[in-house]
Structure 1
Amino acid sequence: MSKEGDEREPEGSERRRRFEGIAASPGVAIGPAYVVDRHKIPVPRRSIDRTEADAEVHRFRKGLRDTQAQLEQIKARLPHGEHRQILKAQQLMLRDPDMATHVEQLIREEHLCAEWALSRVADEIRDTLQKADDQYFRERSSDMTFLAERVLLALRGEDPAEIDPPAGAVVVAHDLPPADTAGFARTEVVGMVTAIGGQTSHSAIVARSLEIPAVVGVDDIDQEVEDGDTLIVDAIHGVVVVRPSTEELEQWEEIRDRYERFEDRVQREHGLPASGRDGTHVTLRANVALEAELGSALFHGAEGVGLYRTEFMFMDREVPPSEEEHYRLAKNVLRRVAPYPVVFRTFDLGSDKPTRLMSWTERERNPAMGLRSLRLALREREMFLAQLRGLLRAAVHGPLRIMLPLVSGLGELRAAYDAVAEARRQLADARIAHAQVVPVGIMIEMPSAAIMADLLAPHVDFMSIGTNDLIQYTLAIDRDNDDVGYLYRPLHPSILRLIKGVAQAGREHGISVSLCGEMAADPRYTWVLAGLGVRELSMHPSAIPVIKNIIRGSDLAEMEALAQQVLEAPDVDEAERLLLAVMRERFPEHLQHGGGQPLHGEREAPP
């Protein structure tokens, strides 16, 4: 992903100076590099005698217990927050009975030593996750790597070496386990750069929770940087500058100071409503995939969770989550977010988010349009009913909403409602307490659903536009495909018309319409979305303060005027030009915090 900058190197230098990656935790950091050098732990491939199996299983179980104790010690030293929650999540992964059972089976049946058996199982789990098209699930593979390495060290009677970066340092590594990243809470690290990872890696989540600027996915950065090299981390645009000149350093110090002043200003408004100067209110909620992100959502001023992704519960398992697991997770989330609502999306699984529960999806030739999401839930009815029962039970603890993904029309919607009704009957027959009334809504992420939103609206309690899939399906592109990714342009006239139509259908039928795709977090689109009639936006928590500040400095008339101009543009190039002209003039600092790929004629990064 990284690429060499165009500027010339000083004479005699062959080392690269400019790298590009993914901005994972916003900010600008400047400091000396602290390079973490981690070597791969060798795995002994030793066969054991049948009579040694019991002892080897005992040794494996002790390794798990020792690793659990290590993580517990690290967690105990940390303040409450996302970092503790992520370590707790990793402890739960270690307790996964499917994983342990598989390892012990290899020890007893194939006579492998504990290290070899663990390595085999970890590789299988990683392979499953890495096949995912969804970046979030691909990044979970690194969690398995870190946990397996910790257990391997425990089997050898060794403790993992803790890193201890000095104050003011920028940590550089191939990748960082959450246990290491969480330890930054006790240090004065100013930035973080990794060679792999993405927006939803646990290390990125921890960096955001600690508000440490981070750029991830910077190819070979750990090989190109040496201890003490001065680094500039532009975690707004995903750029890392190594050994800047004196002039560059001065420019970036000014940019950093200006950014920090702006951040301080917008964060002071985190408790204020996102209401425009004319009183127009836009509800801002958070997209969440882990309990660990809830603290960040509330800190940044979210009015609840507009999208809670439940897919992670299904990964790395051979047995689906039970009704009780769904209930406990939802109850905990509701209690933490109270009094705000939480929208739980039922599992959106398929070949793009693989799990050992669904081996048949490997046969699909076009998984994006195959057996996934609600279609899968309706086929795997017992798995679906268990989740619905858990959510209905949890709804007695707070304002829970259920959202059905990838609905194509009324037929699927009726089938899903039949499942909800059946889940409610099952709970009633068992005399288990549950909420009698729970709002049920749908995601609008297929062109068919957007076009017939006026027909769907009378049958649902709310609608949420998922622009990520809606754009891909409407424009027939895969944005992760470099050959066609440039066509992924949210201001395409077809996309704008679909969004406007859904918002209008919601108004006419008196139901709320939110937007939870990446467009919601991009300050360039705030005016257009509000001007098209969207009054609820759900986004990554860290984006909320900037979007809120834009709304508080605006009024509906000017937002609607820009939206109308963009709607009337003859093509996407003109739409982008019109948008940038207005937003650059009104909100130049805010656009420096924007996400998404650069628009037509937009410069990627300063200076």
Structure 2
Amino acid sequence: MWQGQRDRIAHRRTGSGRGLRRHRQADRRRIRRVVTTEDREGRDVAEVRPRHRLEGIAASPGIGIGPAYIVDRGRVQVPRYSIERGDVREEIGRFREALRATQEQLEAIKSRLPHGEHRQILKAQQMMLRDPDLTGDVEARIREDLINAEWAMMTVARDVERMLSEAADEVFRERSSDVAHLSNRVLLNLLGKTDDEIDPPAGSVVVAFDLSPADTAALARADVTGLVTEVGGRTSHSAIMARSLEIPAVVGVEDVTEYVRTNDMVVVDGTHGHVVIRPTRDEIEHWQEVRRRYDAFEDEVQRDHALPATTLDGVHVVLRANAALDEEIASASFHGADGIGLYRTEYVFMGRDAPPTEEEHYRRAKAILRRMAPHPVTFRTFDLGADKVAAYVRGRGAGENPALGVRSLRLALRERHLFVAQLKGLLRAALHGPLRIMLPFVSGLEELEAALEVLDEAKSELAREGMAHATDVPVGIMVEVPAAALAADRLAPEVDFFSIGTNDLIQYTLAIDRENDDVGYLYEPLHPAILRQLRMVAEAGARANVPVSLCGEMAADPRYTWVIVGLGIHELSMHPSAIPVVKNIVRQSTLAEMEALAAEALAARSGAEAERRVLEVMQARFPEHLEHGGVDGLPRPGGPVPVRARSGDDGAGEAGQSSETGGYGAM
């Protein structure tokens, strides 16, 4: 399935940063024509409407340059009127006919697409249309309130949107827009109106407040060079689709639709989250050079995607992917991952009224194993609690500080029936491929032993039921609590592997909230306390012959590759698109120089001193890798977290000027 998608991506590689090379000459002609067009007074168009630079969330890496194609999707105007009791059956029939028409429209769009993530997105929309809670609520409103189907559909959809938009987890907040888009399509069918598909011209940059899944599916057939939306995050469908098709994208760009007009020239830096509207001639030439360098480097590192990450002196480093979405599984294969080092299972528990069954866990894990074969997949048992909630366990022991309350493994041990069902499904699926089970948020030996007892219970139940299952599944733990890092030597003999979760480990060790910008400057991955814990865990694992991996954001940051490997951690797990850059660094390095830099970092008096030295060495040795990596939003020691979502006119600027976050196109 992914091969077809990979062929399409190879076909597209140009202005998208990896895409559309056959449009490069056309792009240059179009840029020249737009920029040199003059008004009646002889002034450049770029001078008539000022140049702007906006900032957003870097959603899909690459550089795109092209004229804007504006997508204007407003809310459907919905009438409200009362109906007679005798007309209820007819009104419900009209609603069901609109659902049927919507299903057929989505199926028609889906049938024109190749297999891949874009089809899965539309399939999810079709499943929503069959959700008995949604359709049942609409029909109940019609029946009980005696109102028209349009108004009933709108009010139910708005209630669902509101509930999702208030969710703590980003994935579920993003799904609120899916409900809005789907309800709009149903409403249009009820009103007898059409929702025209978007048809952006080749080489254009799509600019929209938001895109529906049907709109984003249209991108799969259009050779666009970039995407910018006013709302959304990295888990929005627009972002997912852009990454799947490898189109540079920046989302969450405040007020972008207020600044851009059709055919305005737009530059999209999907690596660092920059959007330049109506750039100057010098800027366009600069960004074209940026794109050329980006594409050349991308081609270079991607050529090695199937090669092992082996150092010049023969040391192999395992590079796996972190995943939670189907799109990330496909991306992991494409980018040469050695398997999945962290599969987040909690999302299957969220956004539903009842927990997933053992059979659901089994089928999902089996499907993922088959897609990643022959590589291993590490399933982290559900990490619910704090900002990731499920309706059927909400409010149980959250406390005033849920991040330190009943969450993750603590919650699993309390909600034993949920834990057992998940473990039974995973044990059954382990017959179909190399599956590993990882326990999150372990703080000590007693907690680990309690979890292993539940695993034994799950095995015993399967044996009594006569259900085929694996009995020797590797079990490891996330080392993300300082207590676990400090007691790694006690925990190592009881597990098959360690995986260090640096995101939480840094947060808890340094007593900071990484979501709080006011203390973001204290988030120091190279703080002496962090480096010492990493070395401690690596040494405990080596003594017990237990493999140690690192799966936090540090793993994806090319600045830290040498330090991590030099500390003795030879397995890294990261978001899939980061793998080629990190692999290329490993293949050009020796273990000796990595260990030397790690020793210097350990000897530093502070995190800031370690950061300066590490950045000095890595910038000198791998300047393009650090620029290309585009590590978005990670704080720099000694200063506040860069603001990622700001907008405004920062003046014309000079071509080549760099920003606080660095990068190819920082201007």
Judge same fold: TM > 0.5, yes or no.
Answer: yes
Larger CA deviation: 208-217 vs 429-438: 429-438
Partner deviation per Cα, 1:209-255 (whole Å, 9 max, x = no partner): 11101111111111211111111111121111111111111111111
Alignment correspondent of 2:108: 73
8 Å CA contact 1:514–1:534 kept in 2: the answer is: yes
- Give matches, 1:80-95, under 5 Å: 80-95=115-130
Larger CA deviation: 371-380 vs 532-541: 371-380
Residue 97 of structure 2 is aligned to residue 40 of structure 1: no
Alignment correspondent of 2:407: 372
User: Structure 1 residues 330, 109: CA separation in 2 closer, same or farther (over 3 Å shift)?
Assistant: farther
Alignment correspondent of 1:397: 432
Structure showing greater radius of gyration is: 2
User: Structure 1 residues 254, 332: CA separation in 2 closer, same or farther (over 3 Å shift)?
Assistant: same
Structure 1 CA distance, aligned partners of 2:71 and 2:376?
Answer: 41
User: Structure 1 residues 14, 310: CA separation in 2 closer, same or farther (over 3 Å shift)?
Assistant: same
Alignment correspondent of 1:523: 558
CA RMSD in angstroms comes to 2.3
Residue in structure 2 matching 1:503, options 518, 538, 544: 538
Larger CA deviation: 327-336 vs 15-24: 15-24
Structure 1 CA distance, aligned partners of 2:77 and 2:284?
Answer: 42
Structure 1 CA distance, aligned partners of 2:542 and 2:377?
Answer: 22
Q: Displacement of 1:153 after TM fit?
A: 2.6
8 Å CA contact 2:445–2:491 kept in 1: the answer is: yes
User: Structure 1 residues 95, 452: CA separation in 2 closer, same or farther (over 3 Å shift)?
Assistant: farther
Alignment correspondent of 1:165: 200
Residue in structure 1 matching 2:607, options 572, 579, 596: 572
Structure 2 CA distance, aligned partners of 1:584 and 1:235?
Answer: 21
8 Å CA contact 2:474–2:496 kept in 1: the answer is: yes
SS of match in other structure, 2:403: helix
Structure 2 CA distance, aligned partners of 1:504 and 1:52?
Answer: 75
Larger CA deviation: 300-309 vs 96-105: 96-105
Residue in structure 2 matching 1:186, options 221, 224, 229: 221
Q: Displacement of 1:63 after TM fit?
A: 3.3
Structure 2 CA distance, aligned partners of 1:79 and 1:269?
Answer: 26
- Give matches, 1:455-604, under 5 Å: 455-594=490-629, 595-596=631-632, 597=634, 599-600=636-637, 603-604=660-661
SS of match in other structure, 2:518: coil
- Give matches, 1:142-221, under 5 Å: 142-221=177-256
User: Structure 1 residues 116, 310: CA separation in 2 closer, same or farther (over 3 Å shift)?
Assistant: farther
Structure 1 CA distance, aligned partners of 2:476 and 2:149?
Answer: 48
Q: Displacement of 1:363 after TM fit?
A: 6.5
Structure 2 CA distance, aligned partners of 1:349 and 1:499?
Answer: 25
User: Structure 1 residues 395, 585: CA separation in 2 closer, same or farther (over 3 Å shift)?
Assistant: same
Which sections of structure 1, spanning at least 5 residues, go unmatched? 1-8
Larger CA deviation: 180-189 vs 582-591: 180-189
Alignment correspondent of 2:310: 275
Larger CA deviation: 171-180 vs 132-141: 132-141
Alignment correspondent of 1:438: 473
Q: Displacement of 1:110 after TM fit?
A: 4.9
Structure 2 CA distance, aligned partners of 1:501 and 1:410?
Answer: 17
Partner deviation per Cα, 1:433-470 (whole Å, 9 max, x = no partner): 11122112111111122221221111111121111122
Q: Displacement of 1:88 after TM fit?
A: 2.5
SS of match in other structure, 2:392: coil
Q: Displacement of 1:283 after TM fit?
A: 0.8
User: Structure 1 residues 352, 131: CA separation in 2 closer, same or farther (over 3 Å shift)?
Assistant: farther
User: Structure 1 residues 388, 120: CA separation in 2 closer, same or farther (over 3 Å shift)?
Assistant: farther
Q: Displacement of 1:551 after TM fit?
A: 0.6
Q: Displacement of 1:587 after TM fit?
A: 0.5
Residue in structure 1 matching 2:284, options 243, 249, 252: 249
User: Structure 1 residues 499, 189: CA separation in 2 closer, same or farther (over 3 Å shift)?
Assistant: same
8 Å CA contact 1:82–1:296 kept in 2: the answer is: no
SS of match in other structure, 2:442: coil
Which sections of structure 2, spanning at least 5 residues, go unmatched? 1-43, 639-658
Residue 279 of structure 2 is aligned to residue 222 of structure 1: no
Residue in structure 1 matching 2:172, options 137, 142, 149: 137
User: Structure 1 residues 11, 515: CA separation in 2 closer, same or farther (over 3 Å shift)?
Assistant: closer
Alignment correspondent of 2:647: none
Residue in structure 2 matching 1:263, options 298, 301, 315: 298
Alignment correspondent of 1:331: 366
Structure 2 CA distance, aligned partners of 1:277 and 1:427?
Answer: 47
Residue 273 of structure 2 is aligned to residue 238 of structure 1: yes
SS of match in other structure, 1:357: helix
SS of match in other structure, 1:496: helix
User: Structure 1 residues 598, 99: CA separation in 2 closer, same or farther (over 3 Å shift)?
Assistant: same
SS of match in other structure, 1:484: helix
User: Structure 1 residues 181, 513: CA separation in 2 closer, same or farther (over 3 Å shift)?
Assistant: same
Q: Displacement of 1:558 after TM fit?
A: 0.6
Larger CA deviation: 346-355 vs 273-282: 346-355
Structure 1 CA distance, aligned partners of 2:133 and 2:615?
Answer: 52
Partner deviation per Cα, 1:181-219 (whole Å, 9 max, x = no partner): 222121110001111122222221211111101111111
Structure 1 CA distance, aligned partners of 2:522 and 2:555?
Answer: 19
8 Å CA contact 1:314–1:321 kept in 2: the answer is: yes
- Give matches, 1:301-316, under 5 Å: 301-316=336-351
Structure 2 CA distance, aligned partners of 1:461 and 1:290?
Answer: 26
8 Å CA contact 1:86–1:292 kept in 2: the answer is: no
What letter corresponds to residue 150 of structure 1 in structure 2? R
Q: Displacement of 1:266 after TM fit?
A: 0.7
Q: Displacement of 1:40 after TM fit?
A: 1.2
Q: Displacement of 1:117 after TM fit?
A: 4.0
Structure 2 CA distance, aligned partners of 1:567 and 1:473?
Answer: 20
Q: Displacement of 1:124 after TM fit?
A: 4.0
What letter corresponds to residue 352 of structure 1 in structure 2? D
User: Structure 1 residues 61, 512: CA separation in 2 closer, same or farther (over 3 Å shift)?
Assistant: farther
